[in-house]
A and B are shown apart, each in its own frame.
Chain A
Amino acid sequence: MKNTNFGDDMNLYSELYENKQKIKDVFTGADDIVMREFDNFGVKCLIVFADNVVSRTVIENPVLTNIMVLGEAQSNMEAVATKLVSVGETKLVKTFEEVFDAVLIGDTVIIMEGDKRALVISSKGWPSRGIPQAQTEVVVQGPKDAFMEIGSFNTVLIRRRIRDTSLKVRRMKCGRRSKTDIAVMYLKDVAKDELVEEVIRQIKSIDVDAILDSGYMEQFLEKKHNSPFPQLQMTERPDKAASAIYEGRVAIVVDNSPFVILVPSTVNIFFQASEDYYDRWEIMSFLRLLRYFAVIAATCLPGIYIALTVYRPDLIPTALALKIASSRAYVPFPTIAEVLIMETAFELLREAGVRLPSPASSALGIVGGIVIGSAAVDAGIVGPVVVIIAALSGICSFAIPNPAFVSAIRLVKYFVIFMSAFLGLFGFYISVFLVLTHLASLESYGIPYLYPFCGGSINGYTDFKDSIIRAPLRFMTKRPIFARKGQKRRMSNNKGGSRK
């Protein structure tokens, strides 16, 4: 992407004064850009860097001390780079645009009198908060580390888990002004070439001022942007990203974001948690089933409650129907209003809880619980059964490991509620069919969104082993559908070292 901010890609001058003047002009008003002239045993040099973005230790010891004190006079930048600067990563550049880009991302630039080239020294030293713990994808058993805001650290966290020469990292920039660093990571011999090329093409085609978070990137990469369902997976867990790469998927690391994007994604993936593979298959299969049930309950429970109580109370067992009727005797609102009041209150509590600091949010939870659980029923605003329905629906939505998918379910739930309220059981059925049809129409990089429940035959139905149940690891011998042909097997025939 051209640096449109500076207008051109002019070559550097041989006169140091002219170079300094040009850089000064461009960075006028940017007080955090440091420019200092110094002397290499008689040869005038200029150092440029962004304050606090660079590592001072890198600049002072292996660069300035060597050039000014310990070294000797050099005639050109190439000699400075090879003889004086003892830093791992350096490169020579020729244009102002490259100089500006280097300074802005935290590298140090040295320009020498009489040389039309500049030396870019890698010296990034951004402030960081250390490797955090996962917040949204918490596991009991398994690694606790999570991605952070520095993209290059995130690639390291992934590389630590994939010590394979096939792991490729394609770097690029996105955002006209933000010039956000993007790293596309994949296994060259496992990921499909067309997938990698398509991802890179899409990223390169994004033309926007800034990419501030991977959420921006996600929305630009999604094919159907009018769908509430996430078509790409976001994860904050390096182990999950590494596992996806091993399967032939592509990870997109966006600088300044603690979430990495994984493509392609199917609905089944949103039910998978990292922990599923760290514990025994029986219990994890049970939990998978529970999650699928949770999604159905979170989406359908309020809707089916309305359809049955309003339109067909005769379908409910008599004792239960009588209890529901008696509990609603003093409630002044219709069932739909009752359900909507409870659901909205629950959503508000959830939203407020997310925004508040942790101690306050737990207090809010207690207050909200008391208000909703007891006071609303005592005041006769809602019946106790609706409280149970809303609470169950809410709890079920918490059981799903992916927050983006949970958000979609929360939205779809209201569609089911309204359809059931207006058309009864028929409306409930139609709303479910429409949601399923919508899901059936979605694709993520050519893979049906409902895979393996639709199109499971494409990969010989092997992906069912990691869907509603999680088969024992030694039976999951083949990679999922994402891997290229000829790279389907991920385990040798001895099925992972079974004992004789």
Chain B
Amino acid sequence: MNFSKNDKISNNQLRAVIIAALLGNLAISAPLKIISISGSAAYLSVLLGGVAAAVLFYLAIKLMGASFTKSYEDTAQEVLGRWFSVILFLVVFIHIVLFSGFQLSAACTMVQNSMERGVNSVAAALILSAAAVYMAFKGSECSSRMSEIASVIMVVFILFIFALSLPSFDVETVKFTPHEGVNIINGSMFAAGSLCASEYVFILSAKANDTKKSARAVFWAFIVITLILSLGTMLSVNAFGVKEAQRKIWPVIEMMNYTEFPGSLVERQEVLMSGFYIISSYILTGVSVYIASSLLKKIFKSSKNAVFVILSAAAVFAVSLFGNGIYEKFNFIYWLYKYNVIIFFVMMIVPLAAYIRRNKKCGN
């Protein structure tokens, strides 16, 4: 009776999960660094890096689709053997826990800053982790359905903010000169790295109902994220100027405060709009806990879902306690963005090995 039997998700849901989990979190952290690298042409860096990441994932999933008949985890165990796959799972587990933990920390810092008396960042992280446990318990179908709603809400409201900001847009502020080319390339490499969330893409796309079309779904997810991120970067540079925009922790949302919204019943709309970042963090944490727990289950060869979900959530929460230092010089998220690319190639070992093995079998 189920439309998505065996914990499978549709390709639209796959696209939605990627958008919902990454869009809000990237919009918090990525533009600051990219603007500091590329200046007024940061939007172009985002565009180039985003398209590169989209193409890279498209090709990678095409390769994966051609070699996979099972889930990513099962294929890894099959082609790499027990111990190599355990090492791979551990590396991916650590990366995913660090990535979502620091993103959670950044989001919760924002909660503390924007909602002040409501809750402090540690309590916010704890509550979000607990909520993520609930979502992870329900499985990938629940997370993906929730992501479908979250992605639509986020995209609609972010575009709404953009639409309100557009009348004051001045093309002069985002013009760039050819000698900025190196900076643009550097920025685009950072942008591509920040978009390389391969754990989510590889593991979830192997769970898609129709793996033949999952490459296209992932491609469009990254294109949507790239376009919104690029437009947001452009508008925030226009609104605040290059120097000021680098200091804004959440420029897209803060624009709302500087934008006239006729007939608004609320002053400082940006605080209400910050809910979109929280939902993105919630989805990211929930999906991360789900993926991390599925990796732990494979490592320990166990089916005790509850134990591993709680363990993974505890790990994410523990990482979030370290703090991200989003204003400081050393930023863990930026550091992880660089390592995203390495993890991408580490994870690619599995589809490549599966592909080679399959070709060998065909040759025999």
With a cutoff of 8 Å between Cβ atoms, the chain A residues found around residue B282 in the complex are: 430, 433
Q: Which residues of A contact B94 (CB under 8 A)?
A: none
Beyond A198-B1, A448-B3, whether A437 also contacts B268 by CB under 8 A is: no
Nearest A residue (CB) for B112? A426
Bound-complex Cα distance A195 to B70 (A): 29
> Within 8 Å of chain A (Cβ to Cβ): is B328?
no
Contact yes or no, B13 A312, CB < 8 A? no
> Which of A307, A453, A455 lies at the interface centre, i.e. has the most chain B CB atoms within 10 A of its CB?
A455
Known: A194-B1, A425-B271. A312 touches B117 (CB 8 A): yes
**Whole-angstrom distance between the Cβ of B70 and the nearest chain A Cβ:** 23
**A457-B118 Cα distance, complex, nearest whole Å:** 39
Q: B261 → chain A, closest Cβ, in Å?
A: 12
B268/A311 in contact, CB under 8 A: no
Residue total for B at the interface (Cβ-Cβ under 8 A)? 41
Q: Which residues of A contact B315 (CB under 8 A)?
A: none
A433–B131 CB distance below 8 A? yes
Query: Restricting to A333-385, which residues have a CB under 8 Å from any CB of B?
Result: none
- Is the CB of B304 closer than 8 A to any CB of chain A? no
Judging by beta carbons under 8 Å apart, are A440 and B142 in contact?
A: yes
Other-chain residue from B146, B267, B275 in contact with A436 (beta carbon distance below 8 A): B146
Majority secondary structure, A binding face: helix
**Residue of B whose beta carbon sits closest to that of A320:** B265
Q: Nearest CB to that of B286 among chain A residues?
A: A437
Within 8 Å CB of B6, what residues of A?
Answer: none
CB of A434 within 8 A of CB of B131, answer yes
Work out how many contacts link A and B, with CB atoms closer than 8 A: 116
- Tell me if B272 and A315 are in contact (CB < 8 A): yes
Contact A446 B138 (CB under 8 A): no
Residues of A within 8 A of B286 (CB): 437
B12 touches A457 (CB 8 A): yes
| B13, B134, B148: the one within 8 Å of A453 (CB) | B148
Give 1 or 0 for each of B132-147: 1 = CB within 8 Å of chain A CB: 0011001001111110
Residue of B nearest to A312 (CB): B271
A434, closest chain B residue (CB): B131
Tell me how far the C-beta of A329 lies from the nearest C-beta in chain B, rounded to whole angstroms.
21
A447-B3, A458-B10 are known contacts. Are A426 and B142 too (CB-CB below 8 A)? no
What separation, in Å, do the CA atoms of A446 and B278 have in the docked complex? 30
Partner of A446, one of B2, B13, B111, B266: B2
A437 contacts B146, C-beta separation under 8 Å: yes
Which residues of chain B come closer than 8 Å to A445, judged between CB atoms? 1
If A316-B266, A423-B118 touch, whether A430 touches B148 (CB-CB below 8 Å) is no
**Given known A-B contacts A314-B268, A316-B267, A455-B10, A450 and B117 have beta carbons under 8 A apart:** no
> Hey, which chain B residues are within 8 Å of A429, CB to CB?
275, 278-279
Q: Kindly state the separation between the CA atoms of A314 and B12 in the bound complex, as whole angstroms.
A: 40
Q: Which residue of B lies closest to A192 (CB)?
A: B1
A454 touches B (CB below 8 Å): yes
Q: Given the known A-B contacts A425-B115, A426-B119, A430-B127, are A455 and B278 also in contact in the complex, defined by CB atoms under 8 Å? A: no
Determine if A425 and B142 form an interchain contact, defined as CB atoms under 8 angstroms apart: no
Is there an interface contact between A426 and B111, defined as CB atoms closer than 8 Å?
A: yes
Give the contacting residue for B118; candidates A311, A440, A448, A458; CB below 8 A: A311
* In the complex, A178 has a CB within 8 A of chain B: no
In the complex, what residues of A have CB within 8 A of residue B278's CB?
426, 429-430, 433
CB contact between B149 and one of A318, A430, A450 (< 8 Å): that residue: A450
The reply on A427 being an interface residue by CB < 8 A is yes
A270–B112 Cα distance when bound, in Å, is 38
A424 within 8 A of B: yes
Kindly state the separation between the CA atoms of A446 and B3 in the bound complex, as whole angstroms: 6
**Cβ contact within 8 Å between B271 and A434:** no
A426-B111, A445-B1 as given contacts; A454 in contact with B134, CB under 8 Å: no
| Residues of B253-283 contacting chain A, CB below 8 A | 265-268, 271-272, 275, 278-279, 282
B32-49 residues with Cβ-Cβ distance < 8 A to A are: none
List 29 contacting pairs A-B, 8 Å CB cutoff, sorted by A.
Answer: A307-B118, A311-B115, A312-B271, A315-B266, A424-B118, A425-B115, A425-B275, A427-B118, A430-B127, A430-B278, A430-B282, A433-B146, A433-B278, A434-B134, A436-B149, A440-B145, A441-B138, A445-B1, A446-B3, A448-B145, A453-B149, A454-B144, A455-B3, A455-B4, A455-B12, A455-B145, A455-B148, A457-B11, A458-B10
Q: Please report A residues at the B interface, Cβ cutoff 8 Å.
A: 194-195, 198, 307-308, 311-312, 314-318, 320, 423-427, 429-430, 433-434, 436-437, 440-441, 443, 445-448, 450, 453-458
